[in-house]
Amino acid sequence: MKILVLGSGAREHTIIQALRRDPDSHEILAAPGNAGIAADADIVALDPTNPRVVTDFARSSDIDLVIIGPEAPLVAGVANRLRSAGIPVFGPDSDAAALEGSKAFAKDVMASAGVPTGKAWSVETSEELLLALDQSEGPYVVKADGLASGKGVLVTEDRQAAIEHAEFYLQHGPVLVEEFLAGPEVSLFFLSDGTRVMPLAPAQDYKRAYDNNEGPNTGGMGAYSPLPWLPKDFVADIQRTVAEPAVAELASRGMPFVGLLYCGLILTDDGVKVIEFNARFGDPETQVVLARLTSPLAPLLLAAAQGDLTAVAPPKFSKNVAITVVLASEGYPENPRTGREIDGLDALASNKQVRIAHAGTGFDGTQLLATGGRVLSVVSTGKDFEQARERAYAALEKISLEGSYYRRDIAQGVSP
Ligand code: AMP
Ligand code: GLY
């Protein structure tokens, strides 16, 4: 198959690495990619958020499948145009991608579909904001309605901080005030062909920057899979109570969801609730989910893209565990320092238990450089979390990037 992958993160690098493990060999192209992706795919210089440019390229290059990694091209309507041109695309049209692009839309879909979620108030003015905060006992949860790369959410005991955060985002559009939900979080992905869904393996993401869940929210600093502490029927229950009703609701609104439905869940004392939906693979959860995938990836994504998941067998996952630890630049997430040299990766190339997925990396012709906040993901597998942790952290010690940091508590204390 000739496959075009859009995006430039560790998620896209992971998807490409998984495609390369398929028994059938594929011709893989990527736009815009990064220094790591360049070693595993042919880089194409095009704007991945421009629907016309992507579609013209896919058509003239006889692409069999386009996989859209990040949310921006989805919201920009890249999938719409590809689909109209008859090119199979894994990723929803912009109207269905609003499940991620607009938190108010997501809440409306959940309400209609009977999907369990916390209470929320959408506010547009300072007066409405204060009224909504009065309804909440705190901690306060305030979210920008649109895409904000993980930065739009503030969870705080400090009412004044909640007001300031909300006021900032109110300048750009509506803000959501939400009921605070307490409990462990789970990321569960479903492939969707528009009407049917198929679950992948559950994972847990570490959203805060520092150990013990301290510091600011980030895009994600690490993850592990599976989650041995989940109730036995968890995945089937979420399929029945969350994924299927949400996909059915979107289909009934004439906006079928074709792609990856990311269910961000929280296990409260009052049952499982959805915190958020995303319309794409999660980063860094994808690194651990696909590390455990033993079925070929391309046929699964193609079947979803072609609207018929019954054409493929459900994905299989290894009993081995996987963890990933994100190496971040100094100053991430607020103000990451870029342009510094990364060393030590060559020595890891022959290590079979550890894989490196590149995110913010670039190559200046002689040297690998950090170009972003999340620089790379170290992904390891093992028979248990202790072994996977030893492997990942031993690898991280060999990588040097001035000022960089990573969490040391990923999958710590998780028993098999
Ligand atoms: P989101 O971008 O909506 O996933 O929010 C980012 C993170 O903020 C989540 O992963 C949670 O850790 C936290 N969060 C979001 N909404 C809530 C909520 N209603 N209650 C408690 N924590 C939340
Ligand atoms: N890891 C969180 C996300 O991908 O949104």
Torsion of CA 411, 406, 376, 13, to 10 degrees: 20
- Bridge partners of 224, per DSSP, are 204, 323
In angstroms, what is the span from residue 264 Cα to ligand 2's centroid?
8
Tell me, using a 6 A CB cutoff, whether residue 276 lines ligand 1.
Answer: yes
Chain segment 125-153, per-residue pLDDT in tens: 999 999 999 998 889 999 988 776 656 78
What value, to the nearest 5°, has the Cα angle with vertex 381 and ends 375 and 384? 130
What is residue 149's predicted lDDT score, i.e. its pLDDT?
60
CB 216 within 8 Å of CB 75: no
Could you identify the atom of ligand 1 that is nearest to the CA of residue 103?
Answer: 3
Residue where the block lists tokens 């607009």: 102
CB 141 within 8 Å of CB 152: no
pTM above 0.75, yes or no: yes
The proportion of the chain whose per-residue pLDDT surpasses 90, expressed as a percent, equals: 93
Q: How confident is the model at residue 416 (pLDDT cuts 50, 70, 90)?
A: low
Type and span of the H or E element at 385? helix 385-398
Chain segment 356-393, per-residue pLDDT in tens: 999 999 999 999 999 999 999 999 999 999 999 999 99
- Over residues 41-45, the mean pLDDT reads 98
CB 237 within 8 Å of CB 188: no
Q: Which residues contact 322 (CB under 8 A, 6 or more apart)?
A: 224, 225, 287, 288, 289, 291, 292, 379, 380, 381, 388
What is residue 347's predicted lDDT score, i.e. its pLDDT?
92
- Whole-angstrom Cα distance, residue 374 to residue 376? 6
Q: Which residues line ligand 2 (CB under 6 A)?
A: 205, 220, 278, 282-283, 285
Chain segment 219-263, per-residue pLDDT in tens: 999 999 999 999 999 999 999 999 999 999 999 999 999 999 999
What is residue 136's predicted lDDT score, i.e. its pLDDT?
82
What is residue 164's predicted lDDT score, i.e. its pLDDT?
95
CB 154 within 8 Å of CB 139: no
What is residue 138's predicted lDDT score, i.e. its pLDDT?
81
- Bridge partners of 41, per DSSP, are none
Instruction: Please state which of the ranges 73-82, 99-108, 400-409 shows the lowest mean pLDDT.
Output: 99-108
Is the previous residue joined to 284 through a cis bond, with omega within 30 degrees of 0? yes
CB 327 within 8 Å of CB 406: yes
In angstroms, what is the span from residue 283 Cα to ligand 2's centroid?
5
- Whole-angstrom Cα distance, residue 88 to residue 239? 25
Could you identify the atom of ligand 1 that is nearest to the CA of residue 205?
Answer: 10
- Whole-angstrom Cα distance, residue 304 to residue 310? 9
C-beta atoms surrounding 130 within 10 Å: 14
CB 396 within 8 Å of CB 378: yes
Rg (CA), the chain: 20
What value, to the nearest 5°, has the Cα angle with vertex 69 and ends 385 and 97? 110
SS3 106: helix
CB 165 within 8 Å of CB 195: no
Residue 326 structure tokens: 């994100």
Type and span of the H or E element at 351? none
Chain segment 197-217, per-residue pLDDT in tens: 999 999 999 999 999 999 988
- pLDDT at residue 156 above 70? yes
Alpha-carbon distances, residue 91 vs 77, 194, 413 (angstroms) = 10, 10, 36
Ligand 1: which residue has its CA nearest to atom 6?
153
- pLDDT at residue 193 above 90? yes
In angstroms, what is the span from residue 370 Cα to ligand 1's centroid?
28
C-beta atoms surrounding 173 within 10 Å: 12
Closest by CA to 193, choosing from 245, 289, 239, 261, is 261
Query: 9 phi and psi, to 5 degrees?
Result: -105, -175
Tell me, using a 6 A CB cutoff, whether residue 103 lines ligand 1.
Answer: no
- Over residues 92-104, the mean pLDDT reads 94
- Whole-angstrom Cα distance, residue 280 to residue 29? 19
Type and span of the H or E element at 373? none
